[in-house]
Amino acid sequence: MSQESEPEYVPREYERESGCDLRAVIKEILHHNGGRYAVEVQKLCFHADLYAVEQYGRRVTDVEYGAYMYGPHAEEISEELEAAESASWMETTAAMRKGRPDKRYNSPDPSETLADGCRRIIRKTVDNLTHLSTSDLTNASRRRKIYRLTDGGDPLDFVKYRRELEREELTPDLADWGPPVDRDELSEQEFKNKNENIYKDLLPLNL
């Protein structure tokens, strides 16, 4: 009897030309901040989306995060990580976390397909969060307003969050990360013109 071969890893297909597909986002995160557990990849993806929403009114991924006990969680990210374990670009290392077997994920190479605008958002995210431990990263995600204002298990509503920011009903959580340019000196249209390539690369919120 012939032994069945491992199924070939096939990345998700997206009905858009954005260069911000989830596989590329995860690969880029793990290249710049490798050796992370799955729960940490979840929180880094979430913060990349949150920063993109606050600064640009757009997103890096189109996954749905639920508000769970340990912070925002997207099942699509878990599925993508699991599928990628057999991919040539992914490295996994056995580890123990909280006394239980776990895995650390790493990507030696950056994504070759990721759009530059998405790459800039991810690097900003990694630069600001790379020093945090697993528990600190989890706690940081649980402190974000969009998470705290969402009932347990319900999906995070980025469209509503952006509208509340624009109406100044809320203040951005990641303001201390700093804008890509001196936004205070530019009108909204001037900011969009100056950052046209980033706007083009990110995913619209359909406000």
Start-to-end C-alpha separation, the chain: 56
Binned at pLDDT 50, 70 and 90, residue 193 comes out as low
Task: Check residue 176 and report its DSSP letter.
Answer: G
Is the overall model pTM greater than 0.75, yes or no?
Answer: yes
Q: Give tens-digit pLDDT for 51-90.
A: 999 988 999 999 999 999 999 999 999 999 999 998 999 9
